[in-house]
Amino acid sequence: MAISRAQLVKELEPGLNALFGLEYARYENEYTEIFSTESSDRAFEEEVMLSGFGSAPTKSEGSAVTFDSAAEVYTARYTNETIALAFALTEEAIEDNLYDRLSSRYTRALARSMAHTKQVKAASILNNAFDSTYTGGDGLELCSTVHTLQSGNTFRNEPSTAADLNETSLENALIDISDFTDERGLNTALRGMKLIVPANLQFVADRLLESDLRPGTADNDVNAIRNMGMVPQGYAVNHFLTDTDAWFLLTDAPNGLKHFQRTPIRTAMEGDFDTGNVRYKARERYSFGWSDPRGIYGSPGA
């Protein structure tokens, strides 16, 4: 349905001082703090987890060398979605507007809506990180205590007991990350790099990472996390996280959380010969997901 003069009656009257509601600022591309972006040229992208070899055994003099084998473990798939929105203006509404070009104003609103959707879709990966019905390539949720390894063992990228963000829980998370192993049990030497928090935890995050001394104590101890440079990229606030006490720690795993851009946002307009209406459309294709759950550590909060 096209936007007609009946929906814009006040914009057609002399004496109007201001139009408002479309000028709000917006949070710019907060997903870039979490996801690495790659281009895509197909309907979906797949990434395969490979297992390497186990520890090399000692070879006795004169004995045969031990042979090992490698295999594909699982496949992570990113299916690109098409996101689109449009509006139309009647020919008369455009002709009779007294103040501004309707098309330019509502085109900005269209871009705002498209950007908001992208932020929400990106944040949904973390908002569903503890949901067992929202699974990745290994058949488990993003943050789990029982990620399976080809060796038959498991590893966890969330605490065994859910914990709020504080000095102890952050230190334990960093220790757990340092204990991550690959599919055959070899240590991966990963580090925590950046803390991701909702707006409700930004003050806690700042005190934890920026205080020179231990936060929340009367002791004169140094803030070991800051002093040792344990979270070198600091913290980032994501305003689209829905759980007010969930928090996440990104690691330096090379293939963790990813954003595939299939088609950048494009806009188009066309006039309809029969009605004279002018239609405007915005369209984009992308996907968000993860390949290696070692790319993140998270807690849903206590």
pLDDT string in tens for the chain (302-residue length):
665 444 544 444 444 334 344 556 678 899 999 999 999 999 999 999 999 898 999 999 999 999 998 889 999 999 999 999 998 888 887 777 644 566 677 788 888 899 999 999 999 999 999 999 999 999 999 999 999 998 889 999 999 999 999 999 999 999 999 999 999 999 999 999 999 999 999 999 999 999 998 887 877 789 999 999 999 999 999 999 999 999 999 999 999 999 999 999 998 888 888 888 888 899 999 999 999 999 999 999 99
In a domain, 205, yes or no: no
Closest alpha carbon to 88 in 276, 273, 243, 255 = 276
Do 151 and 59 contact (CB within 8 A), yes or no? Answer: no
d(CA 55, CA 254): 22
In this prediction, residue 17 carries a pLDDT of: 38
In this prediction, residue 102 carries a pLDDT of: 63
In this prediction, residue 20 carries a pLDDT of: 44
In this prediction, residue 269 carries a pLDDT of: 86
In this prediction, residue 251 carries a pLDDT of: 98
What are the phi and psi torsion angles at 210 (to 5°)? -110, -15
User: Would strands 247-251 and 81-89 be described as parallel, antiparallel, or unpaired?
Assistant: unpaired
In a domain, 272, yes or no: yes
- Which CATH number do you get for residue 110? 3.30.2400
- Number of domains composing the chain: 1
Q: How many CB atoms lie within 10 A of CB 32?
A: 12
In this prediction, residue 14 carries a pLDDT of: 46
In this prediction, residue 120 carries a pLDDT of: 97
What are the phi and psi torsion angles at 226 (to 5°)? -70, -45
In a domain, 175, yes or no: yes
User: Would strands 296-299 and 247-251 be described as parallel, antiparallel, or unpaired?
Assistant: antiparallel
Range(s) of the domain holding residue 98: 30-51+75-190+254-299
In a domain, 260, yes or no: yes
In a domain, 213, yes or no: no
In a domain, 275, yes or no: yes
d(CA 111, CA 264): 12
In this prediction, residue 8 carries a pLDDT of: 45
In a domain, 128, yes or no: yes
In this prediction, residue 90 carries a pLDDT of: 83
In this prediction, residue 190 carries a pLDDT of: 97
243: helix, coil or strand?
coil
298: helix, coil or strand?
strand
d(CA 298, CA 143): 6
What are the phi and psi torsion angles at 280 (to 5°)? -125, 135
